[in-house]
Amino acid sequence: MEKKHYERPHIIKLETGMPGKFGMRNDSPPTTHIDGVAVKELVAGYGSPLFVISESTTRSVYRKAYKAFSTRYPKVQFAWSYKTNYLSAVCNIFHQEGSWAEVVSGFEYDKAVANGVDPAKIIFNGPGKSTEDLRKAAENGSLIHIDHLDELYTLTDLTGELTRKPLVAIRVNMDTGIYPMWDRFGFNYENGQAWDAINKIMMSGKLELVGLHTHIGTFIMSAGAYGIAASKLADLALGIKQKFNHDIRYIDMGGGFTSKNTLKGSYLPGSDTNPSFDDYAEAITSALVNSGFKPDNLPLLILETGRALIDEAGYIITTVIANKRLSTGRRATIIDAGVNLLFTSFWYQHPVTPAQGFSQYREENALYGPLCMNIDCVRDSITLPLLNKGEQLVIHYTGAYNLTQWMQFITLRPKVVLIDQDSKTHIIRESESVTSVSGFEKTPDYLNIIK
Amino acid sequence: MKINENLAISESGFLFNPTTGESFTVNPIGAEIIELLKEGKTDGQITEMLLKTYQIDSQTLQKDLHDFNDILKQHQLLEPNE
């Protein structure tokens, strides 16, 4: 006789009381396949934990975002935010779709060039550009977004050595009615810093002011804030036209759109409550169209959206290492992917689903990673089926920031696999080995002797 | 320790403790274990019977049974032997 499938014994006390106003479904439909590839097959082939990127989702989300803006405004350009995910395979999907590159360091700049991006389509943001970075970007005709006066002076000084006039924009920070107001990037709109920088650029005649940029914050849950920001940049652009008879070629609204993730402390899931691309597009394009630009001379609208484009396409497949009870009797589950791989678990309540079917029984769990560190908690509290050691979970919406901010800490980083549009799998980053870490070390000879 | 013999348990896994008035939900294997405990089976006998029926190794089963016993105690469903 064939033996029955085992599920560990489970009993839960039924509590009565007022139902929670924010009570949500806590069943998790299993994620047995990603883009038609069985999770079990992925684990058998590539190990666990495993990062998976879906090419189909990446492209479809990009097209959805592009459509939201391009149906409302005639000149739209996305620039892929390298810091969000700079795996070359991922960047090149966006470049194939038509995205420029938006970089914030010399390293990212070189990576974009190596990926084959035309330097004229690289936007160089960030507060930390070196003199050499500025020289290279200026000579290549890239778009340099000036963050502070020291950078403005450095670049102006460099012009004597350059063969071409640098193409620049200024970064503008402003009050858009949201908290916190980000004022660390660029020049302030309200107190006149922005005009001061514009005047300096225009009066020097050494730099070509081609754009205006803002980055109002991150994970902005109010689309209206972008409308205010777009109005203020339009006001600056129109002021420049009036004062210097100079046309600004583009307005760059930066990044900061939400993904479907749920911020910690939120009652309702982000997939239901966060603004859509249409919401952001409506706010931004309405502000630009309703400003004083002539209809035949609208500036190009650039968007540096990162998180909202790639979060949904990323998955981490992880395996249960152990089940245990905490001192209070709460269930704790230990998995092989922790905050070393899932940096964003400090910010979000990532959705987690089982990779195999289960019965209807569920249990509240603390979900811990494998690190011997108290902070290694993937979810403080999550309701999951009765998992056994060796079974898999799938963590969702992990495509943004994790593959750039992950840590080689305590353990090694795993493979990253791309599932293409024909459901074929490709390793796009190999797993690390001890030598990939210790290979960079140099030990003095006298410390190589251990008695 | 022995199971409270007055426990009422339905086929669907609804468990009622008349001593305290508390209700519980228990999964099928949990219900099976409680029935076996009510029949007076020892932990060893229960382990042996379940190993014959389910696709599970002895170590995992014993670990899970131990944990289940602890939770039954926590919910005061197990009583001290007289």
Q: pLDDT tens-digit profile of A355-394?
A: 998 888 888 999 999 999 999 999 999 999 999 999 999 9
Residue of B nearest to A358 (CA): B27
Tell me whether residues A6 and B71 touch, CB distance under 8 A: no
Asked whether residue B33 is domain-assigned, the answer is yes
Q: Smallest CA–CA separation between B8 and chain A, in Å? A: 14
| ipTM of predicted assembly, 2 dp | 0.94
Nearest of A311, A353, A322 to residue A85 by alpha carbon:
A311
Q: Could you tell me if A79 and A250 are in contact, meaning their C-beta atoms sit under 8 angstroms apart?
A: no
How far CA A45 is from CA of A41, A195, A341, A403, A449, in Å, comes to: 6, 58, 20, 21, 40
Q: Domain containing B59: what range?
A: 2-77
Question: B25, B58, B77: which to substitute to probe chain A, counting the most A Cβ within 10 Å?
Answer: B25
Which of chain B's residues have a Cβ under 8 Å away from the Cβ of A359? 27-28
Strand ranges in A263-348 using DSSP code E only, listed in sequence order: 300-303, 314-325, 331-335
φ, ψ of residue A12 to 5 degrees: the values are -140, 135
In sequence order, the β-bridge partners of residue B26 are A11
Which three-class secondary structure state does DSSP give residue A212?
strand
Give the burial class of A29: count Cβ atoms within 10 A of its Cβ; 0-12 exposed, 13-18 middle, 19 or more buried: exposed
Tell me whether residues A325 and B67 touch, CB distance under 8 A: yes
Candidate from A9, A10, A13 with C-beta closest to B22: A13
State the residue for tokens 């979970």: A393
Class at the top of the CATH hierarchy for domain A33-52+312-433: mainly beta
Q: Smallest CA–CA separation between B81 and chain A, in Å? A: 22
CA A71 to chain centre: 24
Q: Could you tell me if A127 and A173 are in contact, meaning their C-beta atoms sit under 8 angstroms apart?
A: no
Domain map (residue ranges) of chain A = 33-52+312-433, 55-310
Quote the longest CA-to-CA distance of chain B.
36
Residues A25, A272: Cα–Cα separation, whole Å: 13
Residues A272, B14: Cα–Cα separation, whole Å: 34
Residues A240, A195: Cα–Cα separation, whole Å: 9
Asked whether residue B23 is domain-assigned, the answer is yes
Please state, as a whole number, how many other Cβ atoms lie within 10 Å of the Cβ of residue A168: 26
Each residue's pLDDT, cut to its tens digit, for chain A (451 residues) gives 788 989 999 999 887 766 666 666 666 789 999 999 999 999 999 999 999 999 999 999 999 999 999 999 999 999 999 999 999 999 999 999 999 999 999 999 999 999 999 999 999 999 999 999 999 999 999 999 999 999 999 999 999 999 999 999 999 999 999 988 899 999 999 999 999 999 999 999 999 999 999 999 999 999 999 999 999 999 999 999 999 999 999 999 999 999 999 999 888 889 889 999 999 999 999 999 999 999 999 999 999 999 999 999 999 999 999 999 999 889 999 999 999 999 999 999 999 999 998 888 888 999 999 999 999 999 999 999 999 999 999 999 999 999 999 999 999 999 999 999 999 999 999 999 999 999 999 999 999 998 8
State the residue for tokens 């420029």: A100
- Residues on chain A bordering chain B, Cβ-to-Cβ distance under 8 angstroms: 3-14, 323, 325, 329, 359, 361, 386, 388-389
Which three-class secondary structure state does DSSP give residue A76?
strand
In sequence order, the β-bridge partners of residue B78 are B3
Please count the structural domains in chain B.
Answer: 1
Tell me whether residues B75 and A6 touch, CB distance under 8 A: no
Which of chain B's residues have a Cβ under 8 Å away from the Cβ of A6? 29, 54-56, 61
Asked whether residue B82 is domain-assigned, the answer is no
Q: Alpha helices of A222-276 — where are they, by DSSP H?
A: 223-244, 270-273
Query: What value does the CA radius of gyration of chain B take, rounded to a whole number of Å?
Result: 12
How far CA A390 is from CA of A3, A168, A307, B64, in Å, comes to: 19, 54, 31, 15
Please state, as a whole number, how many other Cβ atoms lie within 10 Å of the Cβ of residue A21: 6
Tell me whether residues B30 and A10 touch, CB distance under 8 A: yes
User: Tokens in use for A218?
Assistant: 């991150």
Nearest of A133, A146, A128, A129 to residue A211 by alpha carbon:
A146
A55-310: CATH homologous superfamily? Alanine racemase (3.20.20.10)
